[in-house]
Amino acid sequence: MLSFIARRLGVMVLTMIALTFVVFYLVNLEPNLKKLALTETNSRASQAEIENWLDRYGYRDSFLKRYAEWIGVWPKQPARDIKGNPIPRFSYCGETVEPRLSGILEGDFGCSTKFRTKVSNKLFPALEATGILMFWVMMVMVPGALVIGVLAGMREGSRTDRTLSILAIGSTATPEYVSGVIFTVVFATWLGWFNGSAASATFHGITFVNFTLPVMTLAIYGMGYIARMTRASMVEVMTAQYIRTARLKGLSFNAVVLKHALRNALIAPFTVIMLQFPWLLTGVVVVEIMFRYQGFGYTLVEAAGNNDIDLLLGCSLVSVFIVLVTQLISDIGYALLNPRIRVQ
């Protein structure tokens, strides 16, 4: 197991380097650099002024050098003024004029040109806010989906199975932006039970009134998919030979389900549940914008809309890391739950 984890960690590091290299290249394309120069100078700057700014601030250095500076394996150079004297690249982030290692490996994610602060000061609070949202979504989505899937799969073809399967398919077929609008109209506008905006949750704290609709919108969509996978796994387990043997030995139906069928039926849904974390990173973009909840998705859209290069790179790095970690946990958990699987 330890050698398996070590190999997977090595693959994770190589994958992160490859993906961040691609993202760094795409984010630093010429149109994005020119937009950044216009933002930092003025919107009427000439082509010569834009080129001069990009050269003085190091954006005309070689691509590999800038990538190494961002990673933190090459000293980051200061900018230069018109006379060629060293100046801080972004003074509002407290950067110095001395060349120094200051990249991802040193905990420096760069400077946000949109929010005029260090990327870490904006990124990590946004991640914390999204983490709280994801926690409550998982608390609602996973137990509900497992209960629906197990109940539907216990008696295949029954009225309960058909009803719950229709509900699961309907929730999966409804995108977040559709269900979010429906929930807002019904529960916020018509009934007045909840707030149609979660902006107050960011500044004044989370309450049942301002946080329910974002959680419901994300949970309902994912719940149907997990429930369908759980039902399919439960149906397969209930037709296995050892289940028939347990019934023939006189065990009650409930005892067969709880002691023998349930654990084996939850092996396949475990992998699906772990894959919900990467999915939630994409789902929160729509939901956080819709409900004005200032988390990771909201920050990502703000960075993309304002050409905030360092903040975009930070968001991309976090996304890649979360996806790879959840994949590793999924593989390890699957091997522990299923004794027939052997890691090599």
Q: Which of 105-114, 179-188, 257-266, 308-317 has the lowest mean pLDDT?
A: 257-266
Q: What is the CA 168 to chain-centroid distance, rounded? A: 23
Q: Is 80 exceeded by the pLDDT of residue 8?
A: no
* C-beta of residue 79 within 8 angstroms of C-beta of residue 86: yes
Summarize pLDDT for 216-255 with one digit per residue, the tens. Answer: 888 888 888 888 888 888 888 877 787 778 777 777 777 7
Of 338 and 143, the one with more pLDDT: 143
Handedness of CA 257, 261, 262, 263 (dihedral sign): positive
Which pLDDT does position 339 carry in this prediction? 61
Instruction: Clarify whether residues 133 and 281 are in a common domain.
Output: yes
Identify whether 8 is part of a domain: no
Averaged pLDDT, 33-39: 84
DSSP alpha helix (H) spans, the chain: 2-27, 30-40, 47-56, 63-71, 119-154, 159-172, 176-183, 199-204, 208-238, 241-248, 253-256, 262-265, 267-291, 296-305, 309-337
Which pLDDT does position 344 carry in this prediction? 52
**Rounded Cα–Cα distance for residues 22 and 126 (Å):** 24
Which pLDDT does position 341 carry in this prediction? 58
Q: Which H helix or E strand runs over 118?
A: strand 117-118
User: Residue 103 — left, alpha, or beta (φ > 0 → left; ψ -120 to 50 → alpha)?
Assistant: beta
Identify whether 146 is part of a domain: yes
Number of domains in the chain: 2
Q: Is 80 exceeded by the pLDDT of residue 42?
A: no
Q: Which of 69-78, 128-137, 241-250 has the lowest mean pLDDT?
A: 241-250
Which pLDDT does position 43 carry in this prediction? 67
Averaged pLDDT, 85-93: 80
Instruction: Clarify whether residues 94 and 203 are in a common domain.
Output: no
Identify whether 305 is part of a domain: yes
Q: Please give the mean pLDDT across all residues of the chain.
A: 83
**Listed residue (180, 337, 201, 343) closest to 273, CA to CA:** 337
* C-beta of residue 232 within 8 angstroms of C-beta of residue 152: no
* C-beta of residue 58 within 8 angstroms of C-beta of residue 33: no
Instruction: Clarify whether residues 134 and 77 are in a common domain.
Output: no
**Listed residue (127, 142, 172, 100) closest to 281, CA to CA:** 127
Identify whether 12 is part of a domain: no
Name the β-bridge partners of 118. Answer: 111
Domain boundary among 86, 108, 130: 108
Range of the domain at 100: 30-108
Summarize pLDDT for 98-120 with one digit per residue, the tens. Answer: 888 888 888 888 888 888 888 98
- Give φ, ψ of 79 to 5 degrees: -80, 175
Instruction: Clarify whether residues 150 and 240 are in a common domain.
Output: yes
**Listed residue (16, 113, 106, 130) closest to 310, CA to CA:** 113
Percent of the chain scoring above 90 in pLDDT: 1
The 3-state DSSP class for residue 155 equals: coil
Instruction: Clarify whether residues 163 and 252 are in a common domain.
Output: yes
Averaged pLDDT, 207-215: 86
Give the pairing type, strands 79-80 and 86-87. Answer: antiparallel
**Rounded Cα–Cα distance for residues 61 and 57 (Å):** 9
Instruction: Clarify whether residues 161 and 306 are in a common domain.
Output: yes
Averaged pLDDT, 326-338: 75
**Rounded Cα–Cα distance for residues 149 and 144 (Å):** 9
Domain boundary among 74, 108, 142: 108
User: Residue 207 — left, alpha, or beta (φ > 0 → left; ψ -120 to 50 → alpha)?
Assistant: beta
Q: Is 80 exceeded by the pLDDT of residue 184?
A: yes
What does the chain come to in residues? 344
Q: Is 80 exceeded by the pLDDT of residue 2?
A: no
Identify whether 100 is part of a domain: yes
Instruction: Clarify whether residues 308 and 161 are in a common domain.
Output: yes
* C-beta of residue 213 within 8 angstroms of C-beta of residue 193: no
Q: What is the CA 293 to chain-centroid distance, rounded? A: 15
Summarize pLDDT for 256-303 with one digit per residue, the tens. Answer: 777 777 777 777 787 778 777 777 777 788 888 888 888 888 888 888
Averaged pLDDT, 31-37: 85
Which pLDDT does position 338 carry in this prediction? 65
Identify whether 115 is part of a domain: no
Distances (CA, A) of 17 to 9, 24, 193, 326: 12, 10, 47, 18
Q: Is 60 exceeded by the pLDDT of residue 307?
A: yes
Instruction: Clarify whether residues 81 and 204 are in a common domain.
Output: no
What's 309's domain CATH number? 1.10.3720.10
Q: Is 60 exceeded by the pLDDT of residue 168?
A: yes
Which pLDDT does position 148 carry in this prediction? 87
Instruction: Clarify whether residues 69 and 138 are in a common domain.
Output: no
Identify whether 132 is part of a domain: yes
